Chains A and B, each alone.
Chain A
């Protein structure tokens, strides 16, 4: 075979093998590893899947943080001022987690509609609000005022 043609053949083989591999890996990686955001109103309406990784975002309800005296288990309510969903988390909460502030919790819904959170994220600084939360709140506000 002509050396240049042979070189092209090598190149094409590499590309075919790798693009197949890459597509396979990406498909495998995406399966169950991406999670969708739901505001409390949609979860309360039963739109969120049970037993699948999701993210919940909204404001932590004032006075709703309840700690277990024996362990690091903590329960709190998340609201978008339309509906409220309870989240349970065991572990250390981020520094900026506070009542009346924005929060995003990811985990799975159990059959009682409680989010069993595996990760809790709070905003990065004073002025910052997670954009999903800001939007969910704005939507809820619009619906509530009918505008």
Chain B
């Protein structure tokens, strides 16, 4: 009965979503207060029913109800309960239900937290979100029903979850990623609602900003977790592959990064309004495109569960409606919301415009590289693949170009600034960064390395310029404490995010330049030395797990005679599917990781192919991403978002306030 309840709840939610997408919207155009006032209750009702549906699905997984096809295909009674729970979204149908759950959660959150919003705007925002929910609920119910039964002929046991997904990472990576992905729908809904009303002013940007920042922060953590998971789970020791599915989540992030910066300009100065709206549409369209790429089976990857053409066609059609509809609306309405305020070349507006152009170009080059193989294949021009060298060649120069300006950004003033002032304030950090960058490769690596030098100069410049800006902001205060207290939460958020970016730059470049990776043939008793660490292969023994059997190796790692770690990598064979999995053993550290993975047995199991990696600064990549996300969440605490009700629509002129 439980699965049928879930199915029924999902259908009821569709009914509520249909009402939500039509009634308040019509009401907003006819001035019908009662119809508009329905929107929040409908949004919350929709959330309640989708939660029930999701709960029923989780229940079916936890209780091993193998009469449900989805459970039978993706779970197994031997799996630990936590993994059964995570298996709910470790498949196409379940992950779509989670998508919808988060969409309705964001919608309900907007309904609950936006009581200060004018009712007309709120009802339109919720209606647009309701429309998106209708699309995805229809998709789920018509093409990928999660509650389909296998009756009669209930299997004794499930087919097991793909072993790659049997990991704690599965519990947190997809939900956080989806929170971010779906969160851009709120920015999109605000943009569309503003276009409908033709009122795109600073207050609109102020309402939209915290939601966009939150979505961006979730997406940052989600992507970071995916990268970290790939690093320890795939057994290759790589952390980013420019795989089309990674790109699918990275493109909304890039567009979202441009969006949160252009929203800053729109809020503070009332500029770039049409542009901001377009970016909001673009970011959400990329989220939908990502969903299409991953869910339609046009790509082949561990993420692509479904290879059903009907599903691809549905999402593509929905994407067409959303993009086509919103661009048509934009074409009719955007001229009405143009601004007539100017700014000078040397100003914060220019710098943020530069940020926007860089991120947009980066998004488009990634988009091009991702779609190129699909296009040539569709046009029968051959089966090309575009590999990491392409993405590195276009992406890294763009980011390197960004950082010199990024360092100036926080110190710069709105509307008009002077190069002389920049020079005066920022010459010291620039020189310091140059010195550190020139010295670092010799001190750390023992020899000159151009890329490391460039990266350390850029990251050092970014961090020191931020520090300098910090000093500028507190120097006029009566005491340091008073100065710190005066800084708004959004400033702390910006500091954290930019510092995180600098950390990621350091991590990416140092690990790619200084990592030592050796693939060797080793037998128990062998000793190898890699990057100053001594790896002793002690023994090899069989391991029995709950739903797998494994060969386990035991290594002692030491340096200069002192023991560093005991590492026990495994090669597992999962019983239900017979699939083989590599479990890498990692000794993590702030400045270096040591990574051992087992390849394949040689000479009938007496020797093994062993992967020994030394990875300096690899943790900095993820620590930086966490700092970026933290920055995004910090901005939510800013007082001015809660003052939204009192303040008038006029743009705030406070040039010293953080963007």
Contacts and interface: CB of A to CB of B under 8 A. Distances in A.
Interface stretch (A10-18, A79-87, A139-147): A10-18
A29 interface: yes
Contacts of B332: none
Interface string A66-105: 0101111000000000000000001111011000000000
A6 B342 contact: yes
Contacts of A28: 393-394
B32 interface: no
A128 B302 CA distance: 10
Contact of A91 (B369, B394, B519): B519
Given A10-B353, A18-B361, A21-B361, A124 B385 contact: no
What range describes how many residues of A lie at the interface? 35 or more
Interface in B595-610: 597, 599-600, 602-603, 609
Given A18-B361, A28-B393, A95-B581, A3 B342 contact: yes
B298 to A, nearest CB: 9
Interface of A is mostly: mixed
B512 interface: no
B577 interface: yes
B229 to A, nearest CB: 15
Interface string B325-369: 000000000000000111111000010011001100100110011
A32 to B, nearest CB: 8
Contacts of B611: 92
Nearest to B581: A95
A124 to B, nearest CB: 5
A7 B372 CA distance: 35
A111 B386 CA distance: 25
A30 B394 CA distance: 9
Contacts of B354: 14
Contacts of B371: none
B383 to A, nearest CB: 4
Interface residues of B, number: 53
B353 A11 contact: yes
A55 to B, nearest CB: 6
A35 interface: yes
Interface string A26-54: 10111011111100000000000000000
Interface in A93-147: 93, 95-96, 106, 124-126, 128, 130-132
A116 to B, nearest CB: 16
B235 A25 contact: no
Nearest to B350: A10
A26 B365 contact: yes
Contact of A15 (B357, B393, B521): B357
A8 to B, nearest CB: 10
Nearest to B388: A33
Contacts of A29: 365, 369, 389-394
B419 interface: no
Nearest to A8: B342
B579 interface: yes
Contacts of A2: 342
- Most chain B CB within 10 A, of A3, A26, A28, is at A26
Given A37-B382, A92-B609, A126 B519 contact: no
B397 interface: yes
Given A37-B382, A128-B300, A22 B390 contact: no
Contacts of A3: 341-343
26 contacts: A2-B342, A3-B342, A4-B341, A7-B343, A11-B353, A14-B357, A15-B357, A19-B361, A22-B394, A25-B394, A25-B398, A26-B368, A28-B394, A29-B393, A29-B394, A30-B372, A30-B386, A36-B384, A37-B384, A37-B385, A71-B521, A96-B580, A124-B300, A124-B302, A125-B162, A126-B579
Interface of B: 162, 164, 235, 300-302, 340-345, 350, 353-354, 357-358, 361, 364-365, 368-369, 372, 382-387, 389-394, 397-398, 519-521, 577-582, 597, 599-600, 602-603, 609, 611
Shortest 9 CB-CB contacts between residues of A and residues of B: A3-B342, A92-B599, A37-B383, A29-B393, A33-B390, A33-B389, A29-B390, A25-B394, A29-B394
Given A7-B342, A95-B580, A95-B581, 16 more contacts: A3-B343, A6-B342, A7-B343, A18-B358, A28-B394, A29-B369, A34-B372, A34-B390, A36-B383, A36-B384, A55-B385, A72-B520, A125-B162, A125-B579, A126-B578, A131-B300
